[in-house]
Structure 1
């Protein structure tokens, strides 16, 4: 780091830097608060969907025990047709959210297959959508965590390093300028006294 020049030009420059740093801090703090709120909301949505999926699995095992012993191939009857994720901007971060989810149900004979197949397919569709939403929320959460970490680091850099260092530099320069001014006054008085003695 370059040696600090103890003059008025440097004092003005450091004063300008301090003012700029102090303007950044509230904006960064607001960004951090927005990211914290978004992270908390995403965590709640993720937990809600995970609970729904867990309840759905429980519902299937309780209400459709015949599914465990059935040798019917149901995976071919339901296919995911479209998953569309859109992105929204939050304080510079592109956050994913599920925009569209469609499944295609293959034609099957309701006379050949048992009556409970309709219920299974409906529950399977709900489970697939929940699984996709969970993945999207997990990805969203990762992006928010990374953004929050970066913003917190920047805030700490300004708040705990740059601002205190600049304030310290300003104090140091003011003390040096004040000392130089006092020394100048003392020199002027000594010179005045010498001239007076020489005139006598």
Structure 2
């Protein structure tokens, strides 16, 4: 990225202003990046944990897999998943508040006695799967924001800040040289005038 500037005090003032904005923003961006990195890890760990819970639950039921042929899937269903959102390091993230199930009435006398436990098991599976989906989405959203923040940190740290500092150095050097030349020119003029006065007198 080339920083456009002119060799004058106005340009120097503007570049200093831009540099200070970036220098002030950099620690905040770095903190945001660290916070997002931590949250991504937490979300991934939680997603992995729920994945493990799901495997354990399914494994527990392998013994009684044959019984599930008698289970009627229409007895239970998800009616709604209530969702809110909260901000993590400035990023809006969906949060699962509650799963609302819809249960169909059935006769305990005409169905096997394990059906209520089966309904509870299906509810638990649905909770784990839905929660895991939320954590996977949360992880993806946070990671996307983390990558953007990392790019901005790198842009500021490796490109813009050194670019502004270099441009400021160049302008200062130019202005100093100009000032020195001006002083030298004034001295020459002064000496010439003194010489002329001396020869005239």
**Counterparts of 1:3 and 1:146, CA distance in 2:** 31
What's 2:112 paired with? 114
**Counterparts of 1:81 and 1:3, CA distance in 2:** 59
What's 1:9 paired with? 10
Distance 1:2-1:170 versus aligned 2 partners, 3 A rule = closer
**Counterparts of 1:2 and 1:38, CA distance in 2:** 35
Which stretch has the larger CA shift, 114-123 or 18-27? Answer: 114-123
SS of the residue aligned with 2:73? coil
Where does the alignment leave 5 or more consecutive residues of structure 1 unmatched? none
SS of the residue aligned with 1:114? coil
SS of the residue aligned with 2:185? helix
CA drift of 1:118 comes to 2.9
- 1:65-111 deviations in Å (ceiling 9; x for gaps): 4336x3x2420111212211111122332101110112233222333
What's 1:49 paired with? 50
**Counterparts of 2:54 and 2:157, CA distance in 1:** 43
What's 2:184 paired with? 186
Report 1:29-48 matches (<5 A): 29-48=30-49
**Counterparts of 2:94 and 2:162, CA distance in 1:** 38
CA drift of 1:17 comes to 1.5
- 1:130-176 deviations in Å (ceiling 9; x for gaps): 11111111111121111111111122221111111110011001110
**Contact conserved, 2:3 with 2:164, CA < 8 A, in 1?**
no
Q: What TM-score do the two structures reach when normalised by structure 2? A: 0.89
SS of the residue aligned with 2:74? coil
Count residues with an aligned counterpart: 197
Q: What TM-score do the two structures reach when normalised by structure 1? A: 0.89
Report 1:106-145 matches (<5 A): 106-145=104-143
SS of the residue aligned with 1:107? coil
- 1:162-200 deviations in Å (ceiling 9; x for gaps): 111110011001110111111112212222222233232
- 1:24-55 deviations in Å (ceiling 9; x for gaps): 11111121122112111111111111111111
**Contact conserved, 2:82 with 2:98, CA < 8 A, in 1?**
yes
CA drift of 1:2 comes to 7.9
Which stretch has the larger CA shift, 95-104 or 50-59? Answer: 95-104
Distance 1:2-1:35 versus aligned 2 partners, 3 A rule = closer
CA drift of 1:20 comes to 1.2
Structure 1 moving runs of 4+ over 4 Å: none
